Chains A and B, each alone.
Chain A
Amino acid sequence: MNSLSDFLFIAYPYIAVSIFFVGAIWRYKSNSFKYSSLSSQFLEGKTVFWGIVPFHFGILILFLGHLFVFLFPGKVLEWNSDPMRLILHEGIGFTFGVSALLGLTVLFVRRITNERLQMVTNRMDIVIEAVLLLQILLGCWVALGYRWGSSWFAADLSPYLWSLVKLNPSIDAVSAMPVVIKLHIIGAFTILLLIPFTRLVHFLVAPFHYMWRRYQVVMWNWDKDRVRNPRTAWQSTRPKNN
């Protein structure tokens, strides 16, 4: 039993994180053509709205929430010390959890039942959607059944994750957790591990740089002034589009 939890909560996270980084970078470097959100709105544009919007906003808020508790556990505990604020916090989290769950369910059913979408669905799409669905379901279960998650996450799990970051893993707290929570943690690392092999890579290339870019893009293959200047060797300017 001990060696199993050693593997699941020490070795597995490191394996998952390594595969995530190596895989994502390797995929980007070797074939960035394969980095795409693979949007299917073009083939089915109506139902998708009711799935994709609640899912994305839900999962984004949940992700940021988890990240915040991981980074600033003290702040969260302080906030949660007032019962009203705790309930507000948990309520918001749970709402977005349900939103993500319903959204993903719509997307899952749509993907499986729509004939056109079947043509653009591969095995990994189904796998990752199933894993995500399970993970969100577990998350909602944890939120309902093991209150109050935001507090014990900050108190017990955040230190565990930090111990992994500091390369000094201590799994006492995790080992004592109920099975549902354990599964939720394993699920999280599984998703991380699967990212490089699925369409989820699209969130790694989210276009934030658009915010501070000029609208128009003109690309010169050469530095137009230097290339025809007889005083410079043209070798000093290189093609930019390759």
Chain B
Amino acid sequence: MDIRSQISMVFHLDKCIGCHTCSVACKNIWTDRKGAEYMWWNNVETKPGTGYPGKWEDQDIYKGGWEKKGNDIKLKGAGKKKGLSNIFHNPHMPVIDDYYEPFTYKYLDLIESPEVDDQPTARPVSLITGKPMDIKMGPNWDDDLSGTPDYARNDVNLKNLSPAEQQAMFQLEKMAFFYLPRICNHCLNPACVASCPSGAIYKRGEDGIVLINQKVCRAWRMCVTACPYKKSYYNWHTGKSEKCILCYPRIEAGYAPACMHSCVGRIRYLGVMLYDADQIHDIASADKDKLIDKQLDMLMDPFDPEVIESAKKNGIADSTIKAAQKSPVYKFVKEWGMALPLHAEFRTLPMLFYVPPMLPVMASITNVDNTEQSKKLGDISKFWPDNWLYDTSTEEFWGTIEQARLPIQYMANLFSAGNTEMVKLRIMKLMAIRIHRRWKTVGDISEEKARQVLKDVGLTQETADAIYYLTSLAKFDDRFVIPAAHREHAIEMMENTGDVKGSTGFGFKQDTAKRGL
């Protein structure tokens, strides 16, 4: 057993309102620079949709991630042989137009315009060439556009859905969508690290954050291809690749990353996970249907004395182990079994987990007779000649999951490598907690029934309340359990504190002159 610690995250999709505050917080801090304008280390996508960059999930196009070869895995579009032979021209790399051409508006034209007959306009100009341009794409161009032929219907996850299922999904009455916020997954088996010919990308041992050393990156661009989530970006101005750094300067100082801190819906949770690094290769090369179970198995119980002992042997601080024991991520992922990784089939062992959305509300449309009701309407009331009812009653709660407006298979393609049972169980748990709370607070469901549904999904009343608390009422410190990075350790990462002891300020960037010879 080789226990390491990893900063891991859970996104509770039921709570995401798609406001893009996370994206903007990230952009303001990290990517509001020349060459990085088009980068969104954090972005929010509407699903079903093609995402950013367009169709990023389609590895037939981009060749990202790993693929299984016998009992081993190989990088799909990079690696030693493919990477070095394609080093001059990388055939599977997305270009700027696959993301979008960054733009701004000539706002000054509004102010400096002479008095004219027409309203002055601020023309869009390219942030690359500075010349006027027609905007064709943006980072969230498909925002809220479910059902559209260009975006929603081109979603890669619809691949193995029958044409009838797809049609049903996009009927006007049934149309639905949800939001998928994405950042770098800080994988345990990162394809970007493995693909980098220069060895510029590395995973930090202490907290598992994946970083690109800007001084070593030589713009061979293989990470852009290799990352199946397309979360490694090429800065066209500096000629270096960049990616989400999980706000490590903030984490080291005990703050939550900017995207998480600013989250309006409070959907994000962050905490430490202890995992067994010895198993990484075996699990990444497991069969597709066992991938997720095995990945969950390698995440260790932080209360297990054996795990604690092994962690200490590896130099993991007591404070980190304590943080792991309080980790909301461990609760959601392991203890309660509510969260799943995104696209586990890419075999990078992503460490960002999603609680799949139950929304849009489980409901069925039933025919009812409205005539009695309509008679009561006054003369000036608007009369609706409909006779259907949007039925949200919980009479047949498990049945409505099967008839969910977003098919279970679609969710499974996103979150469980195609395994519908896995997603269904998690959605049933969400439903069971809702019924349990309805019994407690509204009371129109019998206790017997509430107990029965919890039993069906293997939860107790106490756990259900705990999940409810962490979902709906949790305070900042419950959602973000950041291990004390120890200010003294943060400084040690930058310099050997003994060397600058006695010097003022922050020390010298370059060596000072030495006395003597």
Q: Which residues of A contact B (CB under 8 A)?
A: 32-33, 35-45, 48-49, 52-53, 56-57, 115-116, 118-120, 202, 205, 207, 209-211, 213, 215-222, 224-228, 234-235, 238-239, 241-242
Asked if residues B129 and A241 are in contact (CB atoms below 8 Å), the reply is: no
Asked if residues A36 and B129 are in contact (CB atoms below 8 Å), the reply is: no
16 contacts between A and B (CB under 8 A): A36-B240, A39-B221, A39-B239, A41-B90, A52-B89, A115-B129, A116-B129, A118-B129, A119-B130, A120-B237, A216-B190, A217-B202, A224-B314, A224-B316, A225-B313, A239-B493
**What is the distance, in angstroms, from A225's C-beta to the closest C-beta of chain B?**
5
Instruction: Add 4 more A-B contacts to A210-B199, A217-B193 (CB < 8 A).
Output: A35-B218, A215-B194, A217-B203, A224-B315
Mark B72-92 against chain A: 1 for CB-CB distance below 8 A, else 0.
000000011001100111110
Q: Which residue on chain B has the smallest CB distance to residue A227?
A: B315
**What is the distance, in angstroms, from B215's C-beta to the closest C-beta of chain A?**
5
Asked if residues B189 and A225 are in contact (CB atoms below 8 Å), the reply is: no
Interface of B (DSSP majority class) = loop
Q: How far is the CA of A150 from the CA of B236 in the complex (A)?
A: 41
Q: Which residue on chain A has the smallest CB distance to residue B216?
A: A32
Stretch at the interface among B105-113, B117-125, B494-502: B494-502
Asked if residues B80 and A211 are in contact (CB atoms below 8 Å), the reply is: yes
Q: How far is the CA of A151 from the CA of B360 in the complex (A)?
A: 78
Q: Which 6 A-B pairs have the closest CB atoms?
A: A224-B315, A207-B197, A220-B205, A36-B239, A215-B194, A38-B239
Q: How far is the CA of A220 from the CA of B316 in the complex (A)?
A: 12
Q: Which residues of B contact A (CB under 8 A)?
A: 79-80, 83-84, 87-91, 93, 95-96, 128-131, 189-190, 193-194, 196-199, 201-206, 213-221, 224, 234, 236-240, 280, 313-317, 489, 492-496, 498
A221: chain B residues within 8 A (beta carbon): 204-206, 489, 492-493
- How many A-B Cβ pairs are below 8 Å? 145
Q: How far is the CA of A216 from the CA of B238 in the complex (A)?
A: 25
Known A53-B89, A216-B194, A220-B205; judge A37-B315 contact (CB<8 A).
no
Asked if residues B193 and A37 are in contact (CB atoms below 8 Å), the reply is: no
Asked if residues A213 and B199 are in contact (CB atoms below 8 Å), the reply is: yes
B219: chain A residues within 8 A (beta carbon): 36-39, 202
Pick the contact of A217 from B93, B131, B199, B492 — CB < 8 Å?
A: B199
Q: How far is the CA of A118 from the CA of B496 in the complex (A)?
A: 44
Q: Which residue on chain B has the smallest CB distance to residue A229?
A: B315
B495: chain A residues within 8 A (beta carbon): 239, 242
Asked if residues A205 and B203 are in contact (CB atoms below 8 Å), the reply is: no
Known A44-B95, A207-B198; judge A37-B239 contact (CB<8 A).
yes
Asked if residues A207 and B202 are in contact (CB atoms below 8 Å), the reply is: no
Q: How far is the CA of A23 from the CA of B498 in the complex (A)?
A: 34
Q: Which of A37, A42, A48 has most B Cβ within 10 Å? A: A42
**What is the distance, in angstroms, from A25's C-beta to the closest C-beta of chain B?**
15
B218: chain A residues within 8 A (beta carbon): 35-37, 202, 205, 207
B498: chain A residues within 8 A (beta carbon): 235
